Amino acid sequence: MGADMANGATPMMVQFLEIKAQYPDALLFYRMGDFYEMFFDDAIAASAALDIALTKRGKHDGEDIAMCGVPQHAAEGYLLTLIRKGFRVAVCDQMESPAEAKKRGYKAVVKREVVRLVTPGTLTEDTLLDARRHNYLAAYAQVRDSGAYAWLDLSTGELHVTRCPKIMLGPMLARTSPREVLVVEGDVPDSLTEDSAVITPLARASFDSEGARTRLERLYGTGSLDGFGQFDRAELGALGALIDYIDITQKGRLPLIHPPVQEQQGAAMQIDAATRRNLELTHALSGGREGGLLNAIDRTVTGAGARLLETRVCAPSTDLTVIRERLDAVQLFVDDRTLSADLRDALRQAPDMDRALSRLALDRGGPRDLASIRNGLTAGARMGAILSGELPEGVAQAAKVLSTLPDCAALLESALVAEPPLLKRDGGFVTEGVDVDLDEARTLRDEGRGVIASMQAKYAELAGVTALKIKHNNVLGYFIETTATHAEKMMSDPLSDTFIHRQTTANAVRFTTVELSELETRILNAGARTLELELEQFDRMRDAVLNDGASISTIARALAELDVASALAELAVDSDWTRPKLDMSRSFNIVGGRHPVVERALQRQGGADFIPNDCDLTAQGDNAARIILLTGPNMAGKSTWLRQNAIIALLAQIGAYVPAASAEIGLVDQLFSRVGAADDLARGRSTFMVEMVETAAILNRAGPRAMVILDEIGRGTATYDGLSIAWAVMEHLHEVNGARALFATHYHEMTGLSAKLDGVSNATVAVREWEGNVVFLHEVREGAADRSYGVQVARLAGLPDSVVDRARSVLKMLESEEHGGKAKLRIDDLPLFAVPVSEPAAPKADSQVESRLADILPDGLTPREALDLIYELKGLMPQ
């Protein structure tokens, strides 16, 4: 083929270029036999991304054609690498065999088509996905002043939409963490530049609300969408863009997409991106899941349960009825440990039915996906039987759902073998007795193998050659093989009439017989017929499953709900957590609260126990503020106390028990955190600028039901500037926002605000000094700290003693009556090598050694004189 290319574009290359022109923004995986090949710029990009060899294959327009490829059977691993690196991949498969192509002419090119466009938001294979995390594809639509955000997990079919003004897009992106976001071409919202998702522009027509309505009605087979909710034009546009994009990328194959769930504004606690990051809800600040809240509390045993728990952590409910129903379910399993253990044993046998169902709908599923559905339904039935008697409302509904098996369950149980193969082309996944024709074809196929064995024995005896073997390959089919030494005998009379020579190789000679050829035809036909009938049974089972798709999804959801409830109960029992009391008041009274992540880390390290602390932020009145101003040294635990109380509020509203002796919480609808410091170099923001931007977002948005934690506001600038800003922020929170807040600071001057503002009280983290060192007690008490103990903490950090001593001297000078803010500090007051002010140096007379040295000229001394001088000086030194 290379010689042909040298003379110009071959038909195959013409075909490649035509297909590639339709997908200019994607790498084209072009199927050639057992490989996916890439050419030109695609090959150069893919070879670098995948670290595979870049080769050449002929020429095009006088230039070498760059080429690289990956094996078809291992393509998924390479796809995952490319997707993680931000590529989109168009998978172009052969739609016919080379033999079929040749029927159209000797030089006919095998028909190829793109069967799928693989993008970050459209993955469905288990090998490409994290079983315990959603993989969202999102879309944002703006129609005049109305905005909407929709998100879909193609691997499970879950679809949600909510009205979303542009100002709320950032928090929604932080909450859902989509892998890919669809936007109108030429209109990318600013919020998206801060997110790690791949941005995919679509034509404005994809977001047209009327076209979207038609697409959705066709998808769900309804004449109206009223049964799903009242959607405005922006919501329809976002939903329609998702469906249009799925149609484009899946080449017309649509998965089972659940009816859209319309989320009302305020249904979930609002948490912005900065707060999620500061509280380390799903990931630690270092970037990994270890050290995050979700990792610390996750005891789920199914992938679906883990995904549901993450969804709740990212979007705590603000509906008291929902929260209490979830808490009732957790309490059931806390109180009945036997029931919980039996349920969790059954849950461990429940596969991921949602993802198996999605693959089957997209025609990417195999026998094991059918087995996942069967095993999941069986496990669900077991749990339905376990859950009996008086049950909380939520658990009772789940038990009812699990007790009603869909029609496909009986078919899967009777027709599918216990351990089916991964690929349907391997066959052997249908049980005996399901199809008479299939059983007959199998018998012929299997007996044919036995006949081959007996025929080999017969031919070995006839030829007198014990080394004779009957083998098979895809080129010759069945053949008789023996060594060249014995072959001469078989090609001589009278054996030559029976054994027909077919091929001679370097090490052996191959024969056939009329009888063997006839048997081969029967066996091959039987094998092909067997697979054909098995594939028919696969389609029958898959269609039955898809017909019951809605029921299966409902059962899968019930299993996930039970998994989360029992997992939270397991956590509560093992960690000694308590059920919180929630209402619509402005209360927030935590007794013996603990930080779940820090406590877990201490337990793993085998160190000291976590010191619990109280927190009473109960506000007196519907719009009254309640703020605790916390002072104390660094490293004493101020940030931990701030974070743990915010986390306790969040845990309570996901429907979990909380790490405290008791907790009374008035519903929190917004959670804000301004903790830590970091530059945003990519956007040209200093640490202080980032701090101010985040603080501004809180002051502009926090309402009376918000909970705010602020740590060290104003520390990134000059002392008086910082103090002024912190002071003004505190007053604004109290007078304007009326929020419940925890405010940690080193500006001790602010403690005087408690006398001015009714809703402000002071608290401090207790410490004790011992022999010049500071001991942290990690106890939060009423009152204010008198100082920050910064120098002592610096010593604990390992600063050189000279630096610590110098810092003490400077501190005493600054705190002295002369320089205590009344007079400007002069540099001469603190010479670099000054003796500390607490230890003034008295003038001293010259010693005998110093007087003697003053008379010495070192350059004039001989070695002998220098040695004598050393002895002389030693005698003069005081003993």
pLDDT at 320: 97
Higher per-residue pLDDT: 196 or 502: 502
Alpha helices in 716-800 (DSSP H): 719-732, 753-756, 790-797
Higher per-residue pLDDT: 825 or 402: 402
Q: What tokens were used for 274?
A: 């900065």
How many angstroms separate the Cα of 844 from the Cα of each of 628, 833, 841, 848? 55, 18, 9, 12
State the number of CA atoms in the 13 A half-sphere of 847 facing the CB: 9
pLDDT range class, residue 440, cuts 50, 70, 90:
confident
Minimal CA–CA distance to 674: which of 712, 715, 636, 726?
712
In this prediction, residues 691-707 reach a mean pLDDT of 90
State the number of CA atoms in the 13 A half-sphere of 218 facing the CB: 12
**Confidence check: pLDDT of 831 > 90:** no
Q: What tokens were used for 722?
A: 């910082």
**Confidence check: pLDDT of 681 > 60:** no
pLDDT at 878: 64
In this prediction, residues 224-239 reach a mean pLDDT of 93
pLDDT at 341: 96
Q: What tokens were used for 526?
A: 């039987």
- Count other Cβ atoms within 10 Å, centred on residue 401: 18
Q: What tokens were used for 90?
A: 């168009």
Higher per-residue pLDDT: 149 or 494: 149
E strand spans, 347-419: none
**Confidence check: pLDDT of 167 > 90:** no
Minimal CA–CA distance to 768: which of 754, 778, 755, 759?
778
**Confidence check: pLDDT of 295 > 80:** yes
pLDDT single digits (tens) 580-595:
999 999 999 999 999 9
- Count other Cβ atoms within 10 Å, centred on residue 19: 16
pLDDT at 446: 82
Phi/psi of residue 249, nearest 5 degrees: -75, -30
Arithmetic mean of pLDDT over the chain: 87
* The amino acid at 226: D
Contact 131, 303 (CB under 8 A): yes
How far is C-alpha 32 from the geometric centre of its chain's CA atoms? Answer: 34
**Confidence check: pLDDT of 4 > 70:** no
- With a CB cutoff of 8 Å and minimum separation 6, the contacts of 598 are 610, 640, 644
Q: Give dist(CA 346, CA 329) in Å, integer.
A: 17
pLDDT at 682: 44
The mean-pLDDT minimum among 151-155, 309-313, 446-450, 510-514 falls in 446-450
Contact 744, 714 (CB under 8 A): no
Q: Which residues pair with 221 in a beta bridge?
A: none
State the number of CA atoms in the 13 A half-sphere of 687 facing the CB: 10
**Residue 343, class by beta-carbon neighbours within 10 Å (0-12 exposed, 13-18 middle, 19+ buried)?**
buried
Binding residues for ATP: 632-639
**Confidence check: pLDDT of 847 > 50:** yes
Peptide bond between residue 178 and the one before it cis (omega within 30 degrees of 0): no
Checking 385-392 for CB contacts under 8 A at 24+ apart, the result is: 386/339, 386/342, 386/343, 386/346, 387/339, 387/343, 391/332, 392/325, 392/328, 392/329, 392/331, 392/332
Higher per-residue pLDDT: 266 or 879: 266
Minimal CA–CA distance to 538: which of 693, 377, 425, 690?
425
pLDDT single digits (tens) 22-43:
999 999 999 998 999 999 999 9
pLDDT at 773: 65
pLDDT at 820: 46
Q: Is 212 helix (H, G, I), strand (E, B) or coil?
A: helix
pLDDT at 791: 66
Minimal CA–CA distance to 538: which of 421, 429, 650?
429
pLDDT at 826: 46
State the number of CA atoms in the 13 A half-sphere of 350 facing the CB: 32
pLDDT at 849: 72
pLDDT at 811: 66
In this prediction, residues 714-728 reach a mean pLDDT of 78
pLDDT at 830: 47
In this prediction, residues 630-645 reach a mean pLDDT of 85
pLDDT single digits (tens) 331-386:
999 999 999 999 999 999 999 999 999 999 999 999 999 999 999 999 999 999 99
Q: Give dist(CA 778, CA 606) in Å, integer.
A: 18
**Residue 588, class by beta-carbon neighbours within 10 Å (0-12 exposed, 13-18 middle, 19+ buried)?**
buried
Check residue 612 and report its DSSP letter: -
pLDDT range class, residue 108, cuts 50, 70, 90:
confident
Q: Give dist(CA 861, CA 864) in Å, integer.
A: 8
Minimal CA–CA distance to 325: which of 281, 391, 264?
391
Binding residues: 632-639
**Confidence check: pLDDT of 823 > 50:** no
pLDDT at 790: 65
The mean-pLDDT minimum among 97-106, 528-537, 679-688 falls in 679-688
How many angstroms separate the Cα of 619 from the Cα of each of 616, 625, 709? 9, 6, 15
Higher per-residue pLDDT: 832 or 362: 362
Angle formed by the axes of helices 719-732 and 687-701, nearest 10°: 20
pLDDT at 346: 95
Q: Which residues pair with 153 in a beta bridge?
A: 136, 158
pLDDT range class, residue 821, cuts 50, 70, 90:
very low
Could you give all domains of the chain from N- to C-terminal order, each with its CATH number? 2-118 (3.40.1170.10), 130-265 (3.30.420.110), 298-406+548-575 (1.10.1420.10), 436-539 (1.10.1420.10), 581-791 (3.40.50.300), 844-879 (no CATH)
Task: Provide, for the chain, the percentages of residues in helix, strand and coil under a 3-state DSSP scheme, each rounded to the nearest 5.
Answer: 50, 20, 35
- With a CB cutoff of 8 Å and minimum separation 6, the contacts of 164 are 140, 147, 148, 149, 172
**Confidence check: pLDDT of 798 > 80:** no
pLDDT at 81: 93
Q: Give dist(CA 574, CA 570) in Å, integer.
A: 6
DSSP string for 522-539: HHHHHHHHHHHHHHHHHH
pLDDT range class, residue 789, cuts 50, 70, 90:
low
**Residue appearing with tokens 């038990």:** 399
pLDDT single digits (tens) 456-499:
999 998 888 888 999 888 788 889 999 888 888 888 888 888 88
pLDDT single digits (tens) 45-71:
999 999 999 998 888 877 889 999 999
Cα angle for residues 767, 770, 773 (degrees, 5° grid)? 80
Contact 794, 805 (CB under 8 A): no
pLDDT range class, residue 161, cuts 50, 70, 90:
very high
Higher per-residue pLDDT: 704 or 518: 704
**Confidence check: pLDDT of 281 > 70:** yes
Q: What tokens were used for 542?
A: 């898959």
Q: What tokens were used for 378?
A: 């069986």
Over pLDDT 70: what percentage of the chain? 89
Higher per-residue pLDDT: 839 or 160: 160
pLDDT range class, residue 833, cuts 50, 70, 90:
very low
**Confidence check: pLDDT of 822 > 80:** no
pLDDT at 193: 64
Q: Give dist(CA 249, CA 119) in Å, integer.
A: 8
Phi/psi of residue 32, nearest 5 degrees: -135, 95
- Count other Cβ atoms within 10 Å, centred on residue 449: 11
Please provide the distance, in angstroms rounded to a whole number, between the alpha carbons at the two ends of the chain.
100
Contact 189, 183 (CB under 8 A): yes
Q: Give dist(CA 434, CA 381) in Å, integer.
A: 24
How far is C-alpha 667 from the geometric centre of its chain's CA atoms? Answer: 29
pLDDT at 362: 92
Which stretch of DSSP H or E encloses residue 360? helix 353-361
Cα angle for residues 444, 449, 454 (degrees, 5° grid)? 115
**Residue appearing with tokens 């799928």:** 116
In this prediction, residues 110-139 reach a mean pLDDT of 92
Check residue 578 and report its DSSP letter: B
Q: Are strands 63-71 and 180-184 parallel, antiparallel or unpaired?
A: unpaired
Q: What tokens were used for 201?
A: 């522009």
In this prediction, residues 177-186 reach a mean pLDDT of 92
Peptide bond between residue 494 and the one before it cis (omega within 30 degrees of 0): yes
